[in-house]
Amino acid sequence: MYLISRDGRCGVREIARDLKLPVSTVHYNLKRLEEIGFIERGVDGYIIKRGLKHERYIVIRRRVFHRLFIYSLFFAGVASGNIILLILHEPTIERIMLIIISLIASLLFLYEAYKDLKKIRF
């Protein structure tokens, strides 16, 4: 995730310093990622392999978020807005159905993001 957010070549010491981790820990994990095929070592440092599908992630202000998590937040916002409108105005069946469907969509996207992130844990 750090390499995705940096969008460039990074060395072991630079990563260790920025993440406040021991160099040995960072080196071990980078070697493991290299063995798996997620990253490759270049002259200037480590980079993400071109074939790696990192389009599942969105970088916002140098923070990495799973795309499905962003979708989940969108549907949670739709549900929240309609709950507020439900409180302020007379309830309608359409509004109640929209809240239910939005909450279900939000939970499904959140669950799928969790499953996807759980798969890449070592």
* Average pLDDT in the chain: 82
pLDDT of residue 122: 44
Higher pLDDT, 43 or 80: 80
Contacts of 75 (CB under 8 A, 6+ apart): 102, 103, 105, 106, 109
Q: Which of 29-33, 39-43, 111-115 has the highest mean pLDDT?
A: 111-115
Q: Model-level pTM?
A: 0.59
**Phi, psi dihedrals of residue 49, rounded to the nearest 5°:** -65, 145
